[in-house]
Amino acid sequence: MARRMLVVLLAFSFGAACFAQETTIIYQGVVTDTYHDTPLTWTSARVQGPNAAGSGSATMKFGLALPGSYRADANEVYPLVLYLHGAGARGSNISEVIKRTTAQHFAWQAQETTEYGAFVVAPQVPSGQKWAETPWENGPYVQSEATYTDSMCLTVNLIHYLTDPNNNAELAVSLGIDALDIDTTRLYLVGDSMGAYGTWDLIAWEPGLFAAAIAASGSGPKNKLDEILQTPLWAIHGKTDTVVPNQLPRANNPDGAGSLGMLALIDPAFDNTLSTDLVRLDDYTIREDDPNTLDTLIYTEFPTGFEHATVAMQWTSLMSGTSEWLFSFPLTEKPAPTVGPLESLEADETGMILAINGIGISELILGVTTFPNPPKHADPNYHADKADNWDLSNGASGDDQPYYDTLFAEPVTTIFLVENNGNDSGYFQALDADGYEVGSMVPFTANVDYLKTDYRFFLNQRASGIMFQPPYPVYGLRIIKPDDGPLGFDALSVSGVPVP
């Protein structure tokens, strides 16, 4: 892949004092480690720059692991993973940070795989300091200049420095890298415990800087909920964590604590038993339940028996799907779904559909459609309010419904709808596996977005076809009535193209 020549200038919302002095990087040597019996190599360096108050300078060590295939002269771009460690790794010995399981996991992936090849940056908070100045046992806090720390200031300055091609001469000498080799649309953030506090804190200070983030056993700023929602986030926590308590809001503690407190503040309908429109619950024991890019706010809870340190430091090995989810996000706006006419529809004389857009019915899967109200037309031998049928002569009408849903047993990439007349308007809305809305709602227009055919299968009306194409796999479709009238779909057959 050719090197991306786009450089995103980071628009920091921190106080200008933090950036009043020049930032420098000083090479300190090479540090080695072993993970999964594989030797790992980190460059050890020090970043020096202004302190949070702008009254002087501060310094902090960091480790840098390179993608296994990286060559500075190869014109290849790679993501960058920023890892924020927990309290136990504070100090001046960078080995304490790079030996953390999370750091090892991402460095090993970067070195040993192509799909997760990335720069991994692991800064180290000096002894006695924090990423965010707040007691971690207190849960959600108010982010302010008082909570903003030297370590946070230096970390953001470090990311800015690494991605600025004006620093390439110094970067070549100190770290052996080229700033243009870092894909600034794929900066990722992960943190454990105190570092999870730092993760929540950083995406609140800098909404839109990171493409996605994972925070294990922490909490965040309760006054920055809208900012937090701008970054896809996966929160992980133990149910009975005693170091960073994890509780839903209560009468005597309206903010709650830990990850649960933050998620319930973001979505008051959320608890730790059901997914909501905003928060997707993940079962860490079931790989088939792993989130995907449709899920942008996720919570995984470990039950009684999993202590704080186990969850905070071992989540990369206890769970599946985290790397797949994290690396799937680019920092770009996802394109909206599209609608339009079918390209072709084939059927026999009885009304049995044979192919849609040249795809035989054996290669498609049917959805299951449910109506809020009883269907207007239905064959008594065919429960059209429960399922769809290829034979449009056994159809049902969705007339006068406020909406209806069709869900598939597996994700699909394109959804085909065949109905009578094609004289309806309304909206299409993608659904996830739990039937929750994902992505943007898009309109479809009567007599415009349809393929009209000569087939007449039901009520002697012409069969028409329309396609719904989301930019990513989905599990279902909601059809919503237009603004100025009822929903009027007739004789519905809904099918999808399974994900390869």
Q: Give the pLDDT confidence of 120-178 residue by residue, as tens digits.
A: 999 999 999 999 999 988 899 999 999 999 999 999 999 999 999 989 999 999 999 99
Strand pairing partners for 235?
Answer: 215, 299
Higher pLDDT, 1 or 499: 499
β-bridge pairing 182-192 and 212-216: parallel
Q: Which of 363, 365, 364, 367 is nearest to 433 (CA)?
A: 367
Q: What tens digit of pLDDT does each residue of 71-98 get? A: 988 888 999 999 999 999 999 999 999 9
Q: What tens digit of pLDDT does each residue of 6-29 get? A: 333 333 444 444 654 588 999 999
Using a pLDDT cut of 90, give the percent of the chain over it.
Answer: 57
pLDDT tier, 382 (very low <50, low <70, confident <90, very high otherwise): very low
**Cα of 381 vs its chain's centroid, Å:** 44
Task: Specify the amino acid at residue 413.
Answer: T
Q: Which of 62, 102, 283, 293 is nearest to 191 (CA)?
A: 102
Instruction: List domains and CATH numbers for the chain.
Output: 16-327 (3.40.50.1820), 338-498 (2.60.120)
Mapping DSSP to helix (H, G, I), strand (E, B) and coil, where does residue 161 land?
A: helix
Q: Which of 452, 459, 450 is nearest to 491 (CA)?
A: 459
Q: Give the DSSP letter string of 6-35.
A: --PPP---S-GGGGSS--EEEEEEEEEEEE
pLDDT of residue 392: 37
The tokens describing 13, both together, are 């919302």
How far is residue 329's CA from residue 185's CA, in Å, rounded to a whole number?
9
pLDDT of residue 314: 95
pLDDT of residue 393: 35
Higher pLDDT, 392 or 66: 66
* pLDDT(60) > 50: yes
Q: Which of 47, 44, 68, 48 is nearest to 56 (CA)?
A: 48
* pLDDT(117) > 60: yes
- Give the pLDDT mean for 211-239: 95
pLDDT of residue 288: 86
Ramachandran sector of residue 173 (left: φ over 0; alpha: ψ -120 to 50; beta: rest) = alpha
Cα torsion angle, 90, 96, 99, 103, sign: positive
CA distances from 408 to 370, 386, 412, 433, 473 (A): 12, 13, 8, 8, 11
How far is residue 105's CA from residue 120's CA, in Å, rounded to a whole number?
10
Q: What tens digit of pLDDT does each residue of 418-436 get? A: 887 777 888 999 988 778 7
The 10 Å Cβ neighbour count of residue 478 is: 19
* pLDDT(33) > 80: yes
pLDDT of residue 14: 45
How far is residue 366's CA from residue 82's CA, in Å, rounded to a whole number?
43
The overall pTM is greater than 0.75 = no
